[in-house]
Amino acid sequence: MDFVEGEILAFDKPLHWTSFDVVAKVRRTLCRCLGQKKLKVGHSGTLDPLATGVVIVCTGKKTKLIEQLQYDTKEYVATMQLGATTPSYDMEHPVNKTYPTTHITRTLIDHTIPQFIGEQWQVPPMYSAVSINGKRAYEIARKGENVELKPKLLMIDEIEVLSFDAEKMLLTIRVACSKGTYIRALARDIGERLQSGAYLTALRRTRIGNTRVEDCYQIDTFLHEIQQTYHSTAID
């Protein structure tokens, strides 16, 4: 591989890592192995720390393709808890409200979910990286301040129910969608459409464009192999 001329790498991001953590670890290892002080490395789409799955990382001259790659369709498998919400609509924060669920049936879910296919106006979560007057929305939210976020137009190409546990009120869906879609916000909106609440308990990005999670590198394995390769080269 020629990391200076540029490579496009796909990683299965571990739980609790940020996308920047992946980039920083790759950059640090490559710079050390290549004997360089600087190397361009970037990712083509943020994935929340509480999510796992596909993150595309570009190095060297291939970083010029990042903006183009950001427009590839993304696919997720999301599990949500119905009947409650959290401030961030995931498990980063504790439950702040609960709602009735006795009226929620598989029939109601199967009727509701297809309503989200197509163009959708979505308000980003307050705990998000949306920029507001030069500050991130989550920075403002953590200070206890409220700011009205503007809805954004996005496209949901496919959405289907994978499973529904009526006893635990856990719903798992598969979603194929455009750049800028917040699955946490989608969970919030599904909960509201069901006349209840919802927040994510698990999220996995299974595809970006034609790159599927099963084809991705495990980051520790990749970095170990790179270190071994350059160590062997140095010995030879």
Who contacts 24 (Cβ-Cβ below 8 Å, separation ≥6)? none
HEC string of 52-63 equals: EEEEEEEEHHHH
- At residue 184, the 3 state secondary structure works out as helix
- Identify which of 173, 178, 186 has the alpha carbon closest to the alpha carbon of residue 157: 178
- At residue 157, the 3 state secondary structure works out as strand
- Give me 1's structure tokens: 């591989």
Angle at 21 between CA 77 and CA 81, to 5 degrees: 30
Strands 152-165 and 170-177: antiparallel
Strands 170-177 and 8-13: unpaired
Active site residue 48: yes
E strands within 127-166? 131-132, 135-136, 152-165
Q: Active site residue: 48, 90, 110, 220, which one?
A: 48
- Identify which of 70, 49, 47, 50 has the alpha carbon closest to the alpha carbon of residue 58: 70
Catalytic residues: 48
